[in-house]
Structure 1
Amino acid sequence: MMLPLLPLPPFPLAVESMLEDPSIEAHLRQFCLVLSVSLGVATLSRVFSVLRNIPYTLLLLLVGLGLALVDVRLINLSPQLILFIFLPPLLFEAAWNLNWKSLKQYAVPVVLYAIFGVVICVGSLVWGLQAFAGASLATALLVGASLSATDPVSVVALFRELGVDKKLTTIMEGESLFNDGVAVVAFNLLLGLALGLEQLDAAVTVARFLVFVGVGVSIGGLIGFGLSFLTQRFDIPLVEQSLTLVSAYGTYLVAEELGGSGVIAVVTTGLILGNFGSRIGMNPRTRLVVSEFWEFVSFFINSIVFLLIGDQVEFAGLMANLDKIFIAIVIMLTARAISVYGLGALSNAVTGPNMDLPLAGQTVLWWGGLRGSVSVALALSVPAVLGDRQEVIGIVFGVMLFTLLVQGLTTKPLLEALNLLGDQPLRVEYQQMSAHRVALTRVLKRLDEADDNQEFDSEFVAYQRALVEGQLKDVQEKLAKLERQHPEIQHYAFEQLREELLAIESDTYAEFIRAGQLKQDLAPLLEELPDRGAETA
């Protein structure tokens, strides 16, 4: 007997019933509370000078720990929330801003650290935790896989703020991006072993790893290049901005659904759109709009996730596993040193003296290999059927807190001790004066046009010209003095001019492609010319 279908309520009534759901209002209040606290802390870190030396992400972590200490839980931080909501846009933003030319230049150390560094870290922790901490094989496997993912968000932000060498920044950021993907794949492979569902087979493990990575790269490349050519057909900044957001989440979900690595897929898409698609499919204004949008998204999500990580800490679990946490920290730092210095020496031997990474830079890479949101997400995703789940979470959280609070807060003094602090304040001063010079030159050009067209009284125009010329002369003298006192600034000026010329050439080709006068993107000819300016500097 077929039951009669009940009529659906009218659409307004359905919406009203959803809005009356008390859980929606409760979740909205929780979200607003988290957002208010995180943005308030991020703002205070810039208002008070005493807090400016602390990266705002670490300050948020401290506030979250304070809330956890008094047992105030803002929201339940689940692995799904990190891996499916927070991680894709953070990966996309980092890949979007990572220069492909620089990444390709330092590909050898990045690949060595991202792949073999994970193997060394996992192997060392699995052996060390069993030998010295008496941990079970399941605990050792899952802790090793979770802690193999580096997440130096605060360190990279500090590098950019202080103007640390671009080589060091690129290697650390490139390693972190691909390392996260390799660590997630390793965790998925080792989870079956920890649960006793699979047997260790090196050939099968390598084959599955290659499939994970291959599917991820294929999906990421397909979506990245597809969107790159699609955006050539129109010029609507808001639509192109929305497409990048959809691609970040869509690429991750599609790759995971098809059995690939969502992390690798998102990184691939971000690299393609940031280095290729934004050049051939977006005009400079749209590219700037999209870049500023992703800068906001990264700040917004980092402000939330670091606060919630601190807020999730269970101090009872930390105290119960304090001995194992200490052993894990020692093993992890030792394994990191072996991978960074050992693989660094191998990289230097392969790349030659012009591309080598000095010992001081390797030391910063070793100490700056922090653990963060990905490690937490992997630890929280351990199934409840595993009896050692709480032990895994406690060890991972303890090591993560050590890396963020101890290593993160001492990175700047380490840079100072190794004399690796960049000349960012000098570059900012040079950029500001250069902007003044360009602006005043354009003002003089406008005054000349007004005088030629007799738009205003000639005496008034002459008076204004004299004022502007005086200001321009003062700026030019300051620039000349800066270049005399700091000859290295000339090399920076040549680099900026070269990048500007390359951008003009690439944008011109993109205009021809959008107009249908050119069918394929051309490699910039200026890249093939020798950098004589750098030699002169």
Structure 2
Amino acid sequence: MSHDALTSTQYFWLILIAFLVALVARRVQVPYALALVMTGLIVGIPHLLPHTHLDPKLLFSVFLPPLLFESAIQLPLVHLRRNWKAITVYTFGGTILSTFIAGSLAAGLLHWPLTTGLLFGALISATDPISVIAIFKRLGAGRRLTLLVEAESLFNDGVAVVLFTVMLALGMGQGISPVGSILQFCQLVIGGALLGVTIGMIASRVHCALDDHLLEITLTSVVAFGAYLGAEALHVSGVIAVVAAGLVVGNYGMPNSMSPGTRLAVRSFWEYASFVVNSIVFLLIGIEVSYVQWADKIGAVLLAIIIVLVGRTAIYPLSWLVNRMNTEPGREIPLSWQHIMVWGGLRGALSMALVLGLDQNFPYRDILVACTFGVVLASLLLQGLTVGALLRQLGLAQTANKVSDEQRRLAGEIVACEAAIAELDKLKEQDSYPNTTVESLLRHYQERLNQLQETMQTLYPQHDVLQEEQASKARRAALLAAKSAFQESERRGWLEAEDWQDIAAHIDTELVELT
């Protein structure tokens, strides 16, 4: 299977298709990632984009660092510390145990050598929760459950790649002993973590000397790609290095070394970068799967799907261990959460990139590719489309079915208007801001608020619960709206540039407190 570099024309079509799919997915309430995979299949089967492939080298060196870095800078260290036992057990114990369960079963049932089975177990143990997290947020799953799923996936990517590297060395007959394998594993993990922390700390100190959001965004890009490339050059884990660097920048550099406006700009940049990269990757997954010749491999693929699900059940005994380790009341992992973690363990592009990166002459390569692609496709389409229903069935969808979309929209707008009015009242008290601009905005929001409240009281007399649910999100929207209005005033010359900078800094500070 050829993996030529994507051309600029192919990138254009991929991004255009992703944009159109996003519009449709939002309207029909289908998870965006799943819609992209299905679209990729539709595009790939008739070869509408010929010679378009998921290049493993491109994914690792270009696509993976932004995805890992964006996730890492969003994870609050305080929450990771509170859940460190569970995250550590799931990341290391879960990945290693599921690798050996799935690998041993694959070797026995599919008649592969044990090293080949373990190689498959390692590459397929990397989870990709992006579509699951989107469903969690839409249905109101608990914050701690969301954190556990997201953190486990972020860290287990690195562990899975390291395990794959070790198993590949064993499979290639490089004469590594069991003790040597353990030492190599520790070297890759610890070395990657130390390098990432070092790069993150240095970058955070450099941020202190800068006060330019464009320069600081550029520096974070250097950190993300530099951590990966540096780790590869030093033969340690690039994935773990990027994650470690992102955690340091997100939890140390951004709060202590960046202005509120720069923090918002950095987060917006990486959110967009992650969106574009994920869009391209999930489209390429669908296209790549369409090239696989399934006819003589369907039995093995179906068996592999079952084997991987069985391997994922390692979550249950590990959760028992976590609950035994937890001494703080109320910190147990409920059985319902364990079900979600098992069924929500979707596979994605990382597994595909690992298997595609195998040498063309590697024994069992064709069947490994088919089984990996089959597992990825089944997990995204079967598990991805049903995990929301399982959340509801287990009573974990806190906001599901409570209110209609229209009622939720009205409540959100009401809170947004109230937040905007409160913010404008504060600004009105400060003499440096033009009263005409503030008064105009106040009248606009007050009129809109009166209309919304009248509509809400007429249609839905009981709506108080919604205001609390929407408050944080709506307040952010209101602050952004107010900032946009003042920015337009400055652009038209109604507001002095110095006054605009003061207002923007004030609003940015409040926006950061909401993130």
TM-score bucket of the superposed structures, by smaller chain: 0.7 to 0.9
- In the TM superposition, what is the alpha-carbon distance from 1:204 to its structure 2 partner? 1.5
Contact 1:483 1:490 survives alignment (8 Å)? no
Contact 1:164 1:422 survives alignment (8 Å)? yes
Contact 1:125 1:144 survives alignment (8 Å)? yes
1:386 matched to which residue of 2? 362
Contact 2:289 2:373 survives alignment (8 Å)? yes
SS at structure 2 position matched to 1:369:
coil
1:15-34 correspondence to structure 2 within 5 Å: 27-34=7-14
- Of 172, 176, 193, the match for 1:195: 172
> Is structure 2 residue 248 aligned with structure 1 residue 272?
yes
1:93 matched to which residue of 2? 70
In structure 2, the CA distance between the partners of 1:182 and 1:439, relative to structure 1 (3 Å rule), is same
1:168-207 correspondence to structure 2 within 5 Å: 168-199=145-176, 201-207=177-183
CA distances 1:152-205 after superposition (whole Å, capped 9, x unpaired): 111112212332111111000100011000000000001011122224x33211
- In the TM superposition, what is the alpha-carbon distance from 1:138 to its structure 2 partner? 4.3
- Of 272, 291, 294, the match for 1:318: 294
1: CA distance, partners of 2:425 / 2:261: 26
Unaligned stretches of 5+ residues in structure 2: 476-515
- In the TM superposition, what is the alpha-carbon distance from 1:248 to its structure 2 partner? 0.7
1:512 matched to which residue of 2? none
2: CA distance, partners of 1:229 / 1:324: 53
What's the TM-score, normalizing by structure 2? 0.81
In structure 2, the CA distance between the partners of 1:63 and 1:435, relative to structure 1 (3 Å rule), is closer
CA distances 1:244-264 after superposition (whole Å, capped 9, x unpaired): 111111100101111111001
In structure 2, the CA distance between the partners of 1:235 and 1:432, relative to structure 1 (3 Å rule), is farther
2:29 matched to which residue of 1? 53
Report the structure number with the largest CA radius of gyration.
Answer: 1
Letter in structure 2 aligned against 1:40? L
- In the TM superposition, what is the alpha-carbon distance from 1:373 to its structure 2 partner? 0.8
Contact 1:147 1:375 survives alignment (8 Å)? yes
Contact 2:123 2:351 survives alignment (8 Å)? yes
1:359-438 correspondence to structure 2 within 5 Å: 359-423=335-399, 432-438=413-419
- Of 10, 18, 40, the match for 1:38: 18
1: CA distance, partners of 2:103 / 2:443: 74
1:51-200 correspondence to structure 2 within 5 Å: 52-72=28-48, 73-199=50-176
How well do the aligned residues superpose, as a CA RMSD in angstroms? 3.4
Letter in structure 2 aligned against 1:45? A
In structure 2, the CA distance between the partners of 1:358 and 1:495, relative to structure 1 (3 Å rule), is farther
CA distances 1:363-398 after superposition (whole Å, capped 9, x unpaired): 111100001011001101111221311111111111
SS at structure 1 position matched to 2:398:
coil
In structure 2, the CA distance between the partners of 1:192 and 1:437, relative to structure 1 (3 Å rule), is same
1:350 matched to which residue of 2? 325
- In the TM superposition, what is the alpha-carbon distance from 1:147 to its structure 2 partner? 0.4
SS at structure 2 position matched to 1:320:
coil
Letter in structure 2 aligned against 1:170? L
2: CA distance, partners of 1:464 / 1:153: 38
- In the TM superposition, what is the alpha-carbon distance from 1:417 to its structure 2 partner? 1.0
In structure 2, the CA distance between the partners of 1:325 and 1:285, relative to structure 1 (3 Å rule), is same
Unaligned stretches of 5+ residues in structure 1: 1-22, 498-537
Letter in structure 1 aligned against 2:264? L
In structure 2, the CA distance between the partners of 1:98 and 1:442, relative to structure 1 (3 Å rule), is closer
What's the TM-score, normalizing by structure 1? 0.78
In structure 2, the CA distance between the partners of 1:41 and 1:347, relative to structure 1 (3 Å rule), is same
1: CA distance, partners of 2:360 / 2:24: 39
Letter in structure 2 aligned against 1:343? L
- Of 224, 235, 251, the match for 2:200: 224
Contact 2:420 2:445 survives alignment (8 Å)? no
2: CA distance, partners of 1:211 / 1:464: 59
CA distances 1:317-347 after superposition (whole Å, capped 9, x unpaired): 333222221222212111211x211111111
1: CA distance, partners of 2:463 / 2:255: 37
- In the TM superposition, what is the alpha-carbon distance from 1:210 to its structure 2 partner? 1.0
In structure 2, the CA distance between the partners of 1:472 and 1:217, relative to structure 1 (3 Å rule), is same
1: CA distance, partners of 2:383 / 2:446: 51
Q: Which moved more, 1:468-477 or 1:391-400?
A: 468-477
1:503 matched to which residue of 2? none
Aligned-pair identity in percent equals: 35
Letter in structure 2 aligned against 1:67? V
- In the TM superposition, what is the alpha-carbon distance from 1:471 to its structure 2 partner? 7.4
In structure 2, the CA distance between the partners of 1:59 and 1:468, relative to structure 1 (3 Å rule), is closer
2:275 matched to which residue of 1? 299
1:237-276 correspondence to structure 2 within 5 Å: 237-276=213-252
In structure 2, the CA distance between the partners of 1:323 and 1:449, relative to structure 1 (3 Å rule), is closer
In structure 2, the CA distance between the partners of 1:455 and 1:419, relative to structure 1 (3 Å rule), is closer
- In the TM superposition, what is the alpha-carbon distance from 1:149 to its structure 2 partner? 0.7
SS at structure 2 position matched to 1:370:
coil
In structure 2, the CA distance between the partners of 1:393 and 1:357, relative to structure 1 (3 Å rule), is same
2: CA distance, partners of 1:240 / 1:151: 29
1:531 matched to which residue of 2? none
Letter in structure 1 aligned against 2:125? S
1: CA distance, partners of 2:178 / 2:190: 18
